[in-house]
Amino acid sequence: MHSKQICIALAQLNFTVGAIEANTLKIVDTIKQYTDSNVDLLVFPELALSGYPPDDLLYRDAFIRQVDEALTQIKNQVTAMAVVLGLPQRIDGCLYNQAVVLQHAEIIASYTKWKLPNYSVFDEQRYFTAGNMPTVFEINQVKVGLSICEDIWFPEPLKSAMEQGAELIVNINASPFHAGKINEREAVVSKRIIENKVPVVYLNLVGGQDEVVFDGGSFIMNHEGQVISRLACFTEELAVVEFDLDSQALVAAPLHPLSNVDEAIYRALVLGVQDYVRKNGFTSVVLGLSGGIDSALTIVIAVDALGASNVEAVMLPTRYTSDMSLQDAKLLASRLGVEYKILPIESVYESLLTLLADEFADRPFDSTEENMQARVRGTVLMAISNKKGSMVLTTGNKSEMAVGYSTLYGDMAGGYDVLKDVPKTKVFELANYCNREYERIPQRIIDRPPSAELRDDQKDEDSLPPYKTLDAIIEMYIDQERSVAEIIGAGFSADVVYKITRLIDVNEYKRRQAPPGVKITPKAFGRDRRYPITSGFRDKG
């Protein structure tokens, strides 16, 4: 008896939101690549045609019209091979998150996403109408059931497809990254498989879109819930697999290993920077190099994302900048091979102090004078950006963003904050990860106590608790949404907890004006966490 076999091409590709013409060209080129091959089924990710997430572009008739026109163009390129394509479709006045199956220049089947996520970075219930019907189609005598992303996290959609005779499930995704996410995905899909005893092809999007990074890592699981093929993470990959449903065996299938946590986070940061800069029409970046660990890690990421020739580092010293910082910044820039210059801002700072002398009379030196230095630096970097067309990368980390340890219109001024969702303790770990093969970041930068160097003998821990304590409280209060009482109950000082949670609450206005940055934790500042700026609420424990 002839065994049931199907040859599937997985198109784990990077699409750009709203770039319908470019996305169409990429889709058509991929279809042409496999048209004369033995591929039975070519699969693209969720909303590949529009990019994900298209947000309020979905409200624009012109946008939906372009998608419809592109679908016609793509459909006409499809012959005997079947193609699964994700796109938004408006039908009878309702908008759906769809997967269409194309063959012989026709739509032979379509599936509407059932489970519309409306949490974290997702807003699908704002735009889409949910489906409730399974779709099973036949290719090469194999009955294939479709599902889209969130559907696989619930029992009903897959179970419904099985009731319609599905022998293989194809699940297309735009599943964003956070640390540990791929393990969560594989655990959930394995659970669905064990419930239904059916193999699953899980295809994920790859690429950066504003704050969100899609990490790829597509995989195939057999009917026992075991990964038998996995595509690479954080990179585009086309892979062809021949699957035998009877033996559950694959032919010539890639099986990439999973990255460790620090490697995955680092690669997400690199991809996020690369796509944000390039997809927004820039080719180069500029940043202030302070001699500290945050700017050091940021510039290494920028070099890996864009190449040293597209990165400019500027040291902007004042009277408070130490010789150590000057030496370390110069050494780091030299090791990375980036353009580096020193532009002292002391004279500009002094001029401002003179200008404001009467206004500040009889008032002591405080954070005002500290912030003035940061704002001069921000002005200089933005001027370089305007003149040269380079995007400014800011260097604030999640710990600083949480408690407002940053200067509005100063070190927060720029186009993208690479470390916005990276806690300070993780900054140190990633710096050591960068040095795993050789010392890219001078060790002294990693070892020295962090300081903003905006006054004499300043250390971060003069104003903040140790970063290990601070980050633990931030994680519990923000990521886990634990109460003040619960955090104190976990063993932290009540005074420290009250201080930190109050700082988090009152600095929402700063974060709302901050540039976007790569999401790497389960709850990032930005579209992931939506708190009011004006709020009288305080958790008093």
Q: CA–CA separation, 62 vs 417, rounded Å?
A: 32
Whether the Cβ atoms of residue 118 and residue 133 lie closer than 8 Å to each other: no
Let me know if 46 is a catalytic residue: yes
Question: Which amino acid, one-letter code, is at 150?
Answer: E
Are 421 and 517 a contacting pair, CB within 8 Å?
Answer: yes
* Number of helices followed by number of strands (H, E) in the chain: 17, 20
> 410 near 374, Cβ under 8 Å?
yes
Contact 153/115 with Cβ under 8 angstroms?
Answer: yes
Residue pair 233/204 in contact (Cβ under 8 Å)? The answer is no
Half-sphere exposure of 449 (CA within 13 A, CB side): 10
Separation CA 75–CA 69 (nearest Å): 10
Other CB atoms within 10 A of residue 283 CB: 13
> Which residues have CB under 8 Å from 350's CB, separation 6+?
none
Nearest alpha carbon to residue 249 among 500, 445, 6: 6
Catalytic-labelled residue, pool 26, 115, 124, 149: 149
User: How would DSSP label each residue in 376-400?
Assistant: HHHHHHHHHHHHHTPEEEE---HHH
9 in Cβ contact with 220 (< 8 Å): no
Q: Where is 188: in which H helix or E strand? A: helix 181-196
SS (H, E, C) 1-23: CCCCEEEEEEEECCCCCCCHHHH
Round to whole Å and give the CA distance between 491 and 14.
Answer: 45
Cα gap 135→111, rounded to integer Å:
6
Q: Report phi then psi at 176, rounded to 5.
A: -75, 160
Residue 53 three-state SS? coil
Q: Would you say 222 and 250 are in contact if contact means Cβ atoms under 8 Å apart? A: no
Which residues lie closer than 8 Å to 456 by C-beta, 6 or more apart? 320
The one-letter code for the residue type at 104 is H
Q: Are 201 and 168 in contact (CB under 8 A)?
A: yes
Contact 6, 139 (CB under 8 A): yes
* 91 DSSP β-pair partners: 94
Choosing from 113, 115, 398, 420, which is the catalytic residue? Answer: 113
Q: Sign of torsion, CA 107 111 116 121? A: negative
Tell me the HSE value of 319 on the side-chain side, using a 13 A CA sphere: 9
Residues 6+ positions from 29 with CB-CB distance below 8 Å: none
Tell me, rounded to whole angstroms, the distance of Cα 243 from its chain centroid: 32
Is 149 assigned a catalytic role?
A: yes
**Residues known to be catalytic:** 46, 113, 149
